[in-house]
């Protein structure tokens, strides 16, 4: 009796972990030959490799990049346990994929399902469409430019103090977070503190801590890969439990503010005193009130909380990290620093930087482009799951395959960029910076319907932050620290004091 049971278990094991993933992989290899890189991973070998790359090279994609350099391919097919994973590197293929986002759902292997799942980044189908429609107006170029005086004021106030602070990155986060809060949530959320930290700092640290925990514990990495957002509730380790407590505290605090505002809006709607407001929180809550409050109140409030956290995180962290990465490259290239500063001083002598001046800052724009080419905080798109079997040109992607669209290889390829590993911002001042352009090689904010809704806001803000810093300070590398490129939720240079700022007047003295 024992022998047949044992034999059946072995057969089942072989089927699930060997035959099931290998058959479609071999089929693809036979169809595409050299264009398809095939890698079979026995029982999660890829996971150890990624964690090792992260530990040794601080770059989770290190092996992938080396492999691609040796033998470029259109896509790589591999497996994690029984799941097939396809990594697409050819722009002609991912162009088509980005234009058909309905075939994919973003896999949330970072956050707990009560934190971001209902926000614009992870939401799917009709719910995503409805949210994007409501939010899109607020990101229109004209709406953004109307906020320029407020953005300038916040940045100028923050920059004046920045040189005397130890943690430059945290100061940048305070500025970008304040801009997001003021732009979209008005005074109601301004100045909130949690665990002795400003709200925006706690939100970004919390989400990044969740992202980073994957790389600190193999157990957490595998659990999240296999179970997604459910992983948090299954045999949590102590760090996961601590994070859950922080989430609870954060959400409780935001909920109080939202409920208070809902009562105010309800009162003004019954008294027919409803003023049109372009603050997100009001738009989202008015939408709920107007739609006959079809949803349960708790559910509606939870969705607003998750949207708030999504926008606060997306808007604060990415722009602060981009500005920080730019400051780093300015610090290690003093000659470029002076060229960009000269441009800013000649075009923007006034205190505030207004729209038409922003457009004239061609060297600064080129500099940011080059930083986004080499160290984009959004280094890869989020991993997706294919929701149905579909065709991408001659490639058939089966339902439930994991899909990764990888922009990085094109950005570091000699086919597309001259001396691709050199930091040379001037390439973006030439008429054709990309050698072999099909418009899908350089996509720092992605493309198609699910592109970055905040891209104009991010660039506008980063340009003002950098201009104001360059007008007031010299930037030098901090020789006392060892800079590291870490993948947390996004790619980020650490620690937060890799550069030092010196007031220009003090330095001249």
Which of residues 107, 381, 465, 466 is near ligand HEM by CB under 6 A? 381
CA distance 41 to 60: 17
Contact 429, 366 (CB under 8 A): yes
- Residue 451's closest CA among 148, 120, 228, 204? 120
- Residue 283's closest CA among 315, 302, 308, 312? 308
Report which secondary-structure segment, H or E, holds 2. Answer: helix 2-14
Report which secondary-structure segment, H or E, holds 106. Answer: strand 104-106
CA distance 214 to 216: 6
* Beta strand 193-194 pairing with 104-106: unpaired
Tell me how far, at minimum, the Cβ of 449 lies from ligand HEM, in Å. Answer: 7
* Beta strand 83-88 pairing with 75-80: antiparallel
Report which secondary-structure segment, H or E, holds 136. Answer: helix 125-136
CA quadruple 469, 474, 477, 478: dihedral positive or negative? negative
Q: Using CB under 6 A, which of the segments 107-115, 191-199, 314-322, 417-425 binds ligand HEM?
A: 314-322
Residues 6 or more apart in contact with residue 448 via CB below 8 angstroms: 98, 99, 101
Contact 59, 404 (CB under 8 A): no
Which tokens is 163 given?
């040189």
- Residue 314 touches ligand HEM, criterion: CB under 6 A: yes
Which of residues 319, 331, 365, 492 is near ligand HEM by CB under 6 A? 319
Size of the site for ligand HEM (CB under 6 A): 24
- Residue 315 touches ligand HEM, criterion: CB under 6 A: yes
Tell me how far, at minimum, the Cβ of 346 lies from ligand HEM, in Å. Answer: 26
CA distance 326 to 341: 13
CA distance 473 to 468: 8
**Stretch 320-379 residues interacting with ligand HEM (CB under 6 A):** 322, 376-378
Q: Which residue's CB is nearer to ligand HEM, number 307 or number 331?
A: 307
- Residue 402 touches ligand HEM, criterion: CB under 6 A: no
- Residue 444 touches ligand HEM, criterion: CB under 6 A: yes
Tell me how far, at minimum, the Cβ of 133 lies from ligand HEM, in Å. Answer: 11
Which of residues 21, 158, 177, 454 is near ligand HEM by CB under 6 A? 454
Q: Which residue's CB is nearer to ligand HEM, number 34 or number 146?
A: 146
**How distant is the alpha carbon of residue 80 from its chain centre?**
24
The binding track of 172-201 with respect to ligand HEM, each residue x by CB under 6 A or -, is: --------x---------------------
CA distance 414 to 91: 15
Q: Name the residue whose CB lies closest to ligand HEM.
A: 454
Which of residues 121, 174, 199, 487 is near ligand HEM by CB under 6 A? 121
Q: Using CB under 6 A, which of the segments 205-213, 270-278, 428-436, 451-459 binds ligand HEM?
A: 451-459
3 state DSSP class of 445: coil
- Residue 154 touches ligand HEM, criterion: CB under 6 A: no
Q: Using CB under 6 A, which of the segments 60-68, 410-418, 425-433, 441-449 binds ligand HEM?
A: 441-449
- The single residue listed with the structure tokens 């259109």 is 74
- Residue 406 touches ligand HEM, criterion: CB under 6 A: no
3 state DSSP class of 493: strand
- Residue 445 touches ligand HEM, criterion: CB under 6 A: yes
Q: Which residue's CB is nearer to ligand HEM, number 202 or number 240?
A: 202
- Residue 132 touches ligand HEM, criterion: CB under 6 A: yes
Which of residues 76, 118, 450, 488 is near ligand HEM by CB under 6 A? 450
Tell me how far, at minimum, the Cβ of 147 lies from ligand HEM, in Å. Answer: 12
- Residue 120 touches ligand HEM, criterion: CB under 6 A: yes
- Binding residues for ligand HEM, rule: CB under 6 A, are 120-121, 132, 180, 311, 314-315, 318-319, 322, 376-378, 381-382, 444-446, 450, 452-454, 457-458
């Amino acid at each position: 009796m024992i022998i047949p049971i044992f034999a059946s278990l072995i057969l089942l094991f072989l089927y699930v972990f060997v035959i099931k993933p290998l058959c479609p992989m071999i089929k693809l290899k036979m169809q595409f030959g050299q264009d398809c890189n095939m890698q079979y991973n026995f029982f999660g070998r890829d996971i150890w490799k990624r964690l090792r790359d992260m530990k040794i090279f601080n770059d989770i994609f290190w092996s992938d990049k080396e492999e691609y350099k040796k033998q470029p391919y259109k896509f790589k097919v591999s497996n994690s346990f029984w799941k097939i994973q396809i990594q697409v590197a050819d722009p002609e293929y991912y162009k088509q994929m980005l234009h058909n986002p309905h075939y994919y759902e973003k896999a949330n292997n970072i956050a707990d399902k009560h934190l971001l799942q209902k926000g614009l980044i992870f939401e799917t189908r009709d719910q995503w469409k409805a949210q994007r429609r409501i939010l899109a107006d607020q990101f229109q170029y004209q709406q953004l430019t109307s906020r320029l005086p407020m953005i300038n004021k916040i940045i100028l106030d923050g920059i004046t103090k920045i040189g005397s602070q130890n943690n430059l990155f945290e100061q940048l986060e305070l500025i970008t977070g304040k801009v997001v809060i003021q732009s979209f949530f008005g005074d109601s959320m301004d100045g909130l503190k949690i665990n002795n930290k400003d709200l925006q700092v706690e939100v970004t640290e919390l989400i990044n801590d969740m992202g980073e925990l994957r790389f600190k514990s193999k157990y957490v990495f595998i659990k999240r890969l296999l179970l997604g957002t459910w992983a948090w509730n299954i045999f949590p380790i102590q760090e996961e439990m601590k994070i859950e407590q922080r989430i609870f505290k954060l959400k409780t605090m935001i909920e109080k503010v939202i409920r208070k505002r809902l009562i105010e809006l309800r009162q003004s709607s019954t008294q027919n005193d409803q003023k049109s407001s372009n603050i997100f929180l009001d738009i989202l809550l008015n939408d709920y009130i107007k739609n006959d409050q079809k949803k349960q109140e708790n559910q509606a409030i939870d969705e607003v909380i998750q949207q708030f956290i999504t926008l606060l995180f997306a808007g604060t962290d990415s722009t602060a990290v981009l500005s920080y990465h730019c400051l780093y490259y300015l610090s290690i290239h003093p000659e470029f620093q002076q060229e960009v500063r000269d441009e800013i001083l000649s075009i923007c002598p006034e205190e505030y930087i207004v729209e038409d001046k922003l457009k004239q800052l061609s060297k600064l724009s080129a500099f940011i482009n080059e930083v986004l080419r080499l160290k984009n905080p959004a280094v890869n798109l989020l991993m997706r799951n294919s929701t149905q079997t579909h065709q991408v040109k001659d490639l058939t992607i089966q339902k439930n395959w994991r899909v990764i669209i990888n922009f990085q290889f094109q950005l570091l390829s000699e086919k597309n960029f001259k001396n691709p590993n050199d930091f040379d911002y001037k390439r973006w001042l030439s008429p054709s910076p990309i050698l072999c352009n099909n418009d899908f090689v350089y996509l720092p904010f992605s493309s198609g319907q699910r592109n970055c809704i905040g891209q104009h806001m991010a660039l506008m803000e980063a340009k003002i932050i950098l201009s104001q810093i360059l007008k007031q300070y010299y930037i030098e590398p901090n020789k006392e620290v060892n800079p590291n490129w870490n993948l947390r939720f996004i790619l980020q240079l650490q620690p937060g004091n890799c550069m030092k700022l010196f007031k220009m007047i003090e330095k001249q003295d």
